[in-house]
Structure 1
Amino acid sequence: MTDLSLVLSPLTQADLGAIERLDERAFGPGRFARSAYRLREGVEPDYHLSFAARVGTLLVGANRMTPILCGDSPALLLGPLTVDPAFRSSGIGEALVGKSLEAARTAGHALVLLVGDLSYYSRMGFVPAPPDRLAFIGPVDPDRLLYHELVEGAFAQARGKVRRAGARGSPIA
């Protein structure tokens, strides 16, 4: 049998249709009501920081990094992180997150937020955000709001309303 290795490559617009179908299988239609999804509406991910995972030619996972603003401070929103159910618990999600964090650090970004499970993301250096520090456009379980500093002390600047940002960090109405 041929050994098919995992390949992580930068996300492209051509990948988005397959990723949308993967997200549908993994998260269902209710995903669009989530606050993190609403933040990403109408904003392209940063394709240099977002990755697709393939085994051979099969797309088995993907993640996106989207520019956001926390008050006036630029940050990135990680997610959705999606792994095909048949390939879960094989390290693909951690590999995707690690690749995105390293790319973001190299590109000079300072802070990454996500809404997710601390038990999973703490292995990659994410910690809980202090309560009442950030306000989302919709409800977010405060126990699931996590951050990762790519530059020490970056979270100290993050306060206020979390909102969409364009590619250059400017607010989107």
Structure 2
Amino acid sequence: MFPITAERPADAAQIETLLDLTFGSDRAKKTVYRLREGVAHLRPLAFVVREQDIRASGGRLLGSIRYWPVGLGEAQSPAIMLGPVAVHPDYQGQGIGRALIRHSLYAATRLGHRICILVGDKPYYEPFGFTSAADRGLEMPGWVERERFQVMELLPGALDGVAGMVGKPLRSASPRGRRRAA
């Protein structure tokens, strides 16, 4: 299998190329991209998979995953939004995406994040523990197919009393919910 490593700042251009190749250049028109605008992704949860290369710089980027901070409901309960996760089309179906998701969800849990949301194919994400976010009282701005909007508690009970619209975090929030000035 391909090793998973932390994303480096130098990977940004390759990640954008991979995202265009995987999702198309019009991907930025989607609701989730509006939630990401002006918000930095969570670097401790940004991982990549590279083709093995004997050079010290590594090889071609084969997969990438990122997470973004979001707020849930009027209380702006802190959560993370998974995505995008992308795998080069020549390497899809080899388990790279699933490995990136497992690895990053484990890291998110160890870092103390409590709730994770995403918009994606239910059959793909359900085995990881994601369920309908709408059934839990959460809403996504704009039009999103109900079955594609999903949520997972990284800490049991984290969704108790949490409901409402997903939005950009008003302030920088730690994973455990304590807020600090941006």
Instruction: State the TM-score, normalized to the length of structure 2.
Output: 0.85
- List alignment gaps of at least 5 residues for structure 2: 53-58
Give secondary structure in 2 for the equivalent of 1:154: coil
Give the alignment of 1:1-173 within 5 angstroms: 5-56=1-52, 57-71=59-73, 72-131=76-135, 133-165=137-169, 167-168=172-173
How far residue 152 of structure 1 moved from its aligned partner, in angstroms, is: 0.6
1:122-173, Cα deviation, whole Å (9 max, x unpaired): 1211111234822323211111011111101112233112111254366xxx
1:79-110, Cα deviation, whole Å (9 max, x unpaired): 00100000000000010001110011000010
How far residue 120 of structure 1 moved from its aligned partner, in angstroms, is: 0.5
CA distance in 2, matches of 1:83, 1:127: 23
How far residue 49 of structure 1 moved from its aligned partner, in angstroms, is: 1.1
CA distance in 2, matches of 1:36, 1:80: 9
Are the structure 2 counterparts of residues 167 and 90 from structure 1 closer, same or farther at C-alpha, using a change threshold of 3 Å? farther
Moved over 6 A (4+): none
- List alignment gaps of at least 5 residues for structure 1: none
CA RMSD of aligned residues (A): 1.8
CA distance in 1, matches of 2:148, 2:62: 25
Does the CA-based 8 Å contact 1:111-1:147 persist in structure 2? Answer: yes
Aligned length, in residue pairs: 167
Does the CA-based 8 Å contact 2:7-2:47 persist in structure 1? Answer: yes
Does the CA-based 8 Å contact 2:136-2:163 persist in structure 1? Answer: no
Does the CA-based 8 Å contact 1:73-1:157 persist in structure 2? Answer: no
Instruction: State the TM-score, normalized to the length of structure 1.
Output: 0.89
Q: Percent identity?
A: 37
Query: Which stretch of structure 1 is more off in the superposition, 80-89 or 137-146?
Result: 137-146
